[in-house]
């Protein structure tokens, strides 16, 4: 089954919420302050807030605004991972995980573009939003529980700071200084 099929089939991620929370707590404990891994975890929390803001919006205008923020933060984060972290993962000997990570994010970008075509207050929009949220939630779990833990453990210390600097640089390239959502989009 391709990731696209899995994305369509799975509204709910295969792992439980308790398992995800446990993985995030362990990742937080292992991520050094100011490291690329801690910035990734901050982004993942922002992405979760952005998804919920889209779902919770009460009218078409605010839902479109929340959707644009979600697309910006998700695409900025994904592009930074694809430019800096997935190549490092492949270089550390984890080409299969890197390939899976690229594929999952490419399919998410396709689905985000399709979401833009749907009427924001329709059930079809909510259905697609929840499919994307389920797939992204699982993708973030894979990064937090496995892929990025191995990257942090295996990349030599001298290269970790370079990864952190490059990751921030790539995220800024996309989002500039607007790395936190407008207050109106917070939930
Ligand atoms: Fe990520």
Distance from the alpha carbon of residue 158 to the mean position of ligand 1, in angstroms: 22
**Chain-centre distance for alpha carbon 112:** 12
What's the confidence (pLDDT) of residue 88? 95
Contact 149, 118 (CB under 8 A): no
Among 34, 35, 117, 37, which Cα is nearest to 71's? 117
**pLDDT for the residue 6:** 57
Q: Domain locations in the chain?
A: 17-179
- Half-sphere exposure (Cβ direction) of 29: Cα atoms closer than 13 Å: 7
Instruction: Answer whether 57's CB lies under 8 Å from 66's CB.
Output: yes
**d(CA 57, ligand 1 centre) in Å:** 24
Q: Tell me, in angstroms, the distance from the centre of ligand 1 to residue 31's CA.
A: 14
Question: How much distance in Å is there from the Cα of 14 to the middle of ligand 1?
Answer: 18
Q: Pick from 36, 29, 56: which is nearest to 126 by CA?
A: 56
Report the separation in Å between the CA atom of 148 and the middle of ligand 1, taken as the mean of its atom positions.
9
Q: Tell me what pLDDT residue 183 has.
A: 44
pLDDT on residue 5: 58
**pLDDT value of residue 186:** 46
Q: How far is the CA of 78 from the centre of ligand 1 (A)?
A: 6
Q: What is the pTM of this model?
A: 0.88
> Which residue positions in the chain have pLDDT lower than 70?
1-11, 177-187
Whether residue 34 contacts residue 44, with contact meaning beta carbons closer than 8 Å, is answered with no
Helices (H), 3-122: 3-9, 17-30, 36-56, 60-80, 86-91, 95-116
């Amino acid at each position: 089954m391709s990731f696209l099929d899995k994305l369509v089939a799975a509204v709910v991620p295969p792992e439980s919420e308790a398992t995800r929370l446990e993985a995030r707590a362990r990742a937080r404990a292992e991520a050094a302050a100011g490291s690329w891994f801690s910035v990734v975890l901050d982004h993942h929390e922002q992405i979760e807030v952005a998804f919920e803001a889209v779902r919770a919006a009460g009218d078409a205008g605010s839902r479109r605004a929340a959707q644009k923020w979600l697309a910006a933060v998700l695409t900025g984060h994904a592009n930074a991972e694809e430019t800096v972290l997935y190549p490092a993962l492949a270089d550390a000997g984890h080409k299969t995980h890197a390939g899976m990570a690229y594929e999952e994010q490419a399919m998410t970008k396709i689905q985000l573009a399709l979401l833009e075509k749907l009427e924001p207050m329709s059930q079809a929009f909510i259905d697609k939003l929840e499919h994307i949220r389920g797939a992204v939630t699982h993708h973030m779990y894979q990064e937090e529980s496995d892929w990025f833990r191995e990257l942090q453990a295996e990349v030599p210390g001298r290269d970790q700071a370079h990864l952190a600097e490059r990751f921030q640089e790539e995220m800024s390239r996309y989002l500039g200084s607007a790395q936190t959502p407008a207050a109106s989009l917070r939930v």
